[in-house]
Amino acid sequence: MATNSNEGRVAIVTGGGTGIGRACALALLGAGWRVAVAGRRIEPLQETAREGGERGLAVATDVTDPASVEALFGSTVKQFGRVDLLFNNAGLSITQPTEDFSIEDWKRVVDTNLNGMFYCLRQAFRVMKSQSPMGGRIINNGSISAHAPRPNSIAYTATKHAVTGLTKTAALDGRKYDIAVGQIDIGNAVTELAARMATGVPQANGEIRAEPMIDVSIVGQSVLYMASLPLEANVLFHTVKATKMPFEGRG
């Protein structure tokens, strides 16, 4: 649950204009946070930021460009004074059979989901270790695919497994700077990108089946919970999913 201690704290949410990022930005704004929402398209970012009035800031950002990421953090610090939270959420999914996966698409997914997440994490470290009081929190969006693949998802799954490595190493390296790093793994939240889950998606046995979904606002509440903890406590890994979606066991 949100507490008054969240009021005035500063968050950056990448991929904040739509879907999971927007839901999490709105949850943080609703709890009193000041939130910079980042993404490629300024219009949806502005729409999200307006929900927070003066506590919202829209910053057009390309996470695959280190200079753009540095500018995002600079704009946030200039506007709000510091950064207490990074929700490292921006991501890209392309579905193709492994043998047909193009090198161009492989590089696009890796550049966004792995390189982009590292650029944001690195910049968060630089800001959080130098501010006063020192420290902050980083939450990486891992996905259920950080644990188990879907058919024809080799690039997405590989990068999400790599995010787990980023999370574990950054959690270790962040200790000396009072930076807590955790990961949220999300399964089947209702967004425009995930809507196809409710109508039918390929299963491991080759069948096409609809899968249960959860409202995306539940993910927002999960991120808010992780973000609201004092820095001496950390949720290293948190999985939130539709109770009956295929994941545990054999489906």
Size (the chain), residues:
251
Query: For 78-120, what is each residue's pLDDT tens digit?
Result: 999 999 999 999 999 998 999 999 999 999 999 999 999 999 9
Extents of the domains making up the chain: 4-194+216-239
Sheet holding 85-88, edge to edge: 56-60, 34-39, 10-14, 85-88, 136-141, 179-187, 237-241
pLDDT of residue 217: 95
Query: For 118-142, what is each residue's pLDDT tens digit?
Result: 999 999 999 999 999 999 999 999 9
Q: Please determine, for residue 202, whether its predicted confidence score (pLDDT) is greater than 90.
A: no
Q: Under CATH, to which class is 4-194+216-239 assigned?
A: alpha beta
pLDDT of residue 210: 77
Query: For 141-154, what is each residue's pLDDT tens digit?
Result: 999 999 988 889 99
Q: How confident is the model at residue 1 (pLDDT cuts 50, 70, 90)?
A: very low
The SS3 call for residue 3 is coil
What is the signed CA dihedral for 168, 22, 130, 2, rounded to 10 degrees?
-90
Q: How confident is the model at residue 198 (pLDDT cuts 50, 70, 90)?
A: low
Q: How confident is the model at residue 7 (pLDDT cuts 50, 70, 90)?
A: confident
Q: How confident is the model at residue 170 (pLDDT cuts 50, 70, 90)?
A: very high
CB neighbours of 4 closer than 8 A, spacing ≥ 6? 32
Phi, psi for residue 185 in degrees, rounded to 5: -110, 115
Helix or strand run (H / E) with residue 23: helix 19-30
Averaged confidence pLDDT in the chain:
93
156 labelled catalytic = yes
